[in-house]
A and B are shown apart, each in its own frame.
Chain A
Amino acid sequence: MAERDLIERLDDAIEAILAGRDAELAGLALADPELATLLMIAGDLHGMPDPSFRSKLKAEVIPQMENEMTTMTAEEVKTDFPSIRPYLLVPDADGLIAFLQETLDAELLGRYPTPEGKVMHAALRVGDSLIEMGEPGGDFKPMAMALHIYLDDVDGAYSRALAAGATSTHPLTDQAYGDREGGVKDRWGNVWYFATHQENVTEEELQLRFAGTGGKPRKEPGVGPRPAGYHTVTPFLHARGARSLITFLENAFGAKVEHVTEMGGREVAHAGVRIGDSMIELGEAHGESQPMPAAIHLFVDDVDASYERALRAGATSVEPPADKPYGERGAFVIDPFENQWFIATAK
C-alpha cells in the first residue's frame, strides 16, 4: 500500500481511537500489519497526559516554585552570556522554541510555564548567545524583530529554516561586505539574517564595490564565522531615523559606534554600535525594509542610572527599577523608535 494511503488510514483509525469507536479499529488494523503495530502505540497514547495539566499541577503541589525559577534564572544571569539578549514576544512560544531547536540547534535552558501551561519565560542558548522569549500579555505586546545570526553552517541553517516553515526574504549570497548571508521570515514575522563572515572588507573597499569598481567577494582564509567583536546573536534594529537612534543609544546606554556604512553619503545603510560586551546593528528603514523595532534584555552595571539616562534621552517609562523575584533588579522602558528595553542588573 502506498505510504500516502497508510498515512490517511492511520489517521482514520486514530480518529476512531480518540472517539472511542473501538469496534472500527479491529477492521482497520487487520487490513495492514504496519498499521496494526502503530495503532497499538496510538491506543496506548490515547489518554496521554496533557502537558499543561502536568505543569499546572506541579506549580500547585510544590511550594515555592518561584524559588526554583529564581535559582535557574540567576544561573543564566551568572553564566558568561553576552549582556544583550533579544527577547522575543510571540504567541505559541513553544512553536518558536521548536523552530529554533530545528534550525539553529538551540538548547532550551529553561521553560517557565504560566498556570495555563503557556510560556511565561524561556531561555535558549544559540552558539555563545542567549535568546529569551515569552508569550505576550499585559504590558507585553507581540512584536516581530530582526536578528543577525553568525554561524559556521549558514547553508544548513537557511535550508533547515525553510524546511521548518520559514519563508525566504533573500537567498544566500556572498555579499559585498564580506558575509555569506541569506534571510528568512518565520511564521511569527521575525526576520533572521543567517550569515557566516568570510572576508574582512574595509569601508573604502566596500564603497568601491557598491560603485561597481571594487573586487569580487571571496573567502579569505582564517576569517569567520563571526566578525571581530560580534557574538552569535545580534539584534538588528530597522529604524526610521537611524542616525537619531544611534544618538539615543549613545546617550542612554553609552553605546560606542564601531562602524557606519552610508548610502549616497547621507543615510545610515548599516551601523554597528557596541553596548557593554555586545553589538547592536541598525539601519535606515525605507522601501521594503519597514521599521522593525526589537525587545532587548540589556544587562548594565547600574540599572537605576541607566534607566534615568534612558528617560533623559527620550525613552518612556513602563516600569521603574524594582527588585525582581528572579534574581535581578530590572526596569522597562520604550525608546522613541518603539524598541522595548528590559534593563537589568544581576543581584
Chain B
Amino acid sequence: MDRETNDRERLLIEAAQADPSRFAELYESHFDRVWAFVIRRVRERAAAQDVTSEVFHKALKNLKSYEIRDVPFAAWLYRIAANAVNDHFNRTAREQSEHQRIVESEAPHDIEHIERRASLFRCVERLPADQRRVLVMRFGEERSIREVASAIGKSEGAVKQLQWRGLQSLRAQMGENHG
C-alpha cells in the first residue's frame, strides 16, 4: 500500500471511529478480501454469509479500540475473520478436522491467494456492464445459463459468449495488475 493510500485509509478510519455511519467506504474497500478469506474456509455460501456478517459487525463494534500504528487495517480485519471462522467451526465441530487441514496445509500462501482473489472480484466491477452482469449472475448468484438469458433478455448463445469475453477481459486485467 503506498503512502497516499495509507493516509487516505487513516482518514477514513478516524472518520468512522468518530461517526460509525462513515464506515461505508471502509466496508466497500475491504468487503472483497473479508469475503474471499471466509469463503475459502467456509465453503458453503449461506454459512460464509453468516460469518462475513459477524466479521463486519464485530469490526464496527471494536473500531474505536483499533490502533493504526499496531497493525494495518486489512490485517486487523483478517484477525477478526480468522476468529469468526474458528467460532463457526467450533459450533459445527464435525467439520473441525477439515478446517484444520486447510489451515495447516495452505497457511503460508493463503493471504496472497486471498488478496489475488479479492482483486479479481474487484476487477469484475470494472468490466463492461453486459459482461459484468453475466459473470455476477453466473458466479455470484450461481444461476444457470438459461436463467441468465431470460433475466437479461438475450439468447443462451449470447450469454455464453459474454461469459467467454468477460473471463478474457478479467485475464487481461489480472495480467496488467500482476505484471
A→B interface (CB under 8 Å): 3, 6-8, 10-11, 14, 18, 37-38, 41-42, 44-54, 57-58, 60-65, 67-68, 92, 94-95, 97-98, 101-102, 164-165, 187
Any chain A CB within 8 A of the CB of B161?
Answer: yes
Partner pick for B138 among A14, A44, A102, CB 8 A cutoff: A14
Quick check: B167 and A38 within 8 Å, CB to CB? Answer: yes
Contact residues of A: prevailing secondary structure: helix
Assembly CA distance A44 to B24 (angstroms): 26
Q: How far is the CB of B45 from chain A (nearest CB, A)?
A: 7
Quick check: A62 and B133 within 8 Å, CB to CB? Answer: no
Q: How far is the CB of B178 from chain A (nearest CB, A)?
A: 12
Any chain A CB within 8 A of the CB of B12?
Answer: no
Assembly CA distance A62 to B171 (angstroms): 34
Quick check: B160 and A49 within 8 Å, CB to CB? Answer: no
29 contacts between A and B (CB under 8 A): A6-B164, A11-B145, A14-B163, A18-B138, A41-B167, A41-B171, A41-B174, A42-B167, A44-B120, A45-B120, A45-B135, A45-B170, A47-B39, A47-B139, A48-B135, A48-B136, A49-B31, A51-B140, A53-B52, A57-B49, A60-B53, A62-B21, A65-B21, A68-B21, A68-B24, A94-B133, A95-B153, A98-B129, A102-B128
Assembly CA distance A53 to B46 (angstroms): 10
**3 closest A-B pairs (Cβ-Cβ)?**
A98-B129, A45-B139, A64-B21
Which residues of B have CB within 8 Å of A101? 129
Assembly CA distance A60 to B52 (angstroms): 12
Contact residues of B: prevailing secondary structure: helix
B→A interface (CB under 8 Å): 20-21, 23-24, 27-28, 31-32, 35, 39-40, 43, 45, 48-49, 52-53, 56-57, 60, 116-117, 120-121, 124, 128-130, 132-133, 135-136, 138-142, 145, 151-154, 160-161, 163-164, 167-168, 170-171, 174
Partner pick for A95 among B128, B141, B152, CB 8 A cutoff: B152
Q: How far is the CB of B37 from chain A (nearest CB, A)?
A: 11
Q: How far is the CB of B79 from chain A (nearest CB, A)?
A: 18
Contact (A67, B154) CB under 8 Å given A37-B171, A47-B45: no
Which residues of B have CB within 8 Å of A7? 160-161, 163-164
Contact (A41, B130) CB under 8 Å given A7-B164, A48-B139, A54-B31: no
Quick check: A48 and B140 within 8 Å, CB to CB? Answer: yes
Q: How far is the CB of A62 from chain B (nearest CB, A)?
A: 5
